[in-house]
Structure 1
Amino acid sequence: MLKLVSYNLHNSRNEREIVRNVLDFASAGVNLFCLQEVRLSKGGKFIGDAILSALGPGWNGNFFLSPEPFLKDYGLGIVWKSEMDLVKFENLSFDTPANFGSYQRIINLLLRAGITPFQQRYGSLIGTFKIGKTSLRISNLHIDWRGGLENRISQIKHLSNYLKEALVVDGEIICGDFNTLGFFENSKQVEMIHSLFGKEFINLFPDFRATTTHFQHLDHIFARNLKIHRSLVHEVDGSDHFPLLAELSF
């Protein structure tokens, strides 16, 4: 049984609560974590190290971070139990559109004033594993909240096209923070995303369900060639996002 948790850590602000939540999930049998907003703190501590230290022997982690310390680029992590054999990891950077509407106009004003603004980059951490003789690919992503639906679809299309050119695997999971902002158009956004991945994927959270403390459905899990046993949103403290739990098998 594969027990997966997808969890946005809110820039790793509340290390103690987040680590406690991860340990609680691990005690309940979770063997794979897909983490977003995994950050280095200003004091140089890294929450990824804290999580792996708390989990102890038999756990591994891989992280996709900015090469420059303390920038908030990418911030993706996959932590897995050693019963899963690693084949490889790939890092995929999403293109940043030149125009973000009103957001970009503010950025341009700052640039003209000689102020270098913070520009965050987004992407996906893709891990391929073997469970026995079965291959499994997991794409942990964080989609840009800026630029509206057009930008989100462009970044998801980038990932979708990349995966379609990749080696064939027996099963596949795509999960993370899709930043599908909005209430009334949320289902339309999710349908568009689902169509890009293909009908063979199952949306584990098809109905609107708040996955954040500000009542937005931003986090999703899609799976292909896997049996879905259970999918839950866990409302726990520690982040502005709630962790998603999925139990699957081949």
Structure 2
Amino acid sequence: MDHPLQTSGPVGEVTPDPVTLGIDIGGSHIKAALVAPDGALLTNYERVVTPLGKPPDLIVDTISALIAPLGGFDRVSVGFPGATRGVTVLTAPNLGNDQWHGYKLADRLAARLARPVRLANDATVQGLGAIAGRGLECTITLGTGMGFALFTDGRPAPHLELGQHNAHRKHTYDQYVGHEALNRDGARKWNKHVLRTIDALRVLVNFDLLYIGGGNVTAITFALPADVHLVSNETGITGGVRLWDGVSPRRA
């Protein structure tokens, strides 16, 4: 699969079985694990509370400390909760800090970890770990906010910050089906909001399959339509392997 992604850091000789460090940056937690080339987890998650509102360099420090127990790896994939382009963060609506705008996260991590790094939106990474790769597929993540990604025959479409788009009255989708809405409105009303969101996406996207991930999927109580599937949080880590399709850097 062809990815319009840039790689930060050293890329050495090809190795047949590269180990990927998958990092999932969320509005509540940062998670990391090592992943085999086939997408299988090689380690348990390491997890830490996200230092919201702190400078981006502190996130890099936090990740560096978090992954220390995991062992060696060849390359790094990062899922980020906002819009990214190449090595750079464009928006970080749920991390509480405007300093993220224009921050070259992939470059900073590559310099710190001495490994090549690829960066993408977290819903895109989760989708890559879940999709079948056929037809028009869509992923949403239900966590602090709502992430969104769209795929055509396995290839990511240009990223859309649907979570920041108006959903109902003056509420964005982040505010309509995000974690604060679940706490504010209760599970019953929140589930109705999620159902309405699925209906809206069906009209907007005409998806063949929709995958729902994120930490709040456990709060879903309605019967799922045949073309909607829940996916585990693991895909937010394991999908990072597919950012490297066709690229196999050597372990330093």
Give the TM interval when normalised to the shorter protein. 0.3 to 0.5
Could you state the TM-score of these two structures normalised by the residue count of structure 2? 0.33
Relative contact order: is structure 1 or structure 2 higher (C-alpha 8 Å, sep ≥ 6)?
2
Could you state the TM-score of these two structures normalised by the residue count of structure 1? 0.33
| Larger strand percent | 1
| Larger helix percent | 2
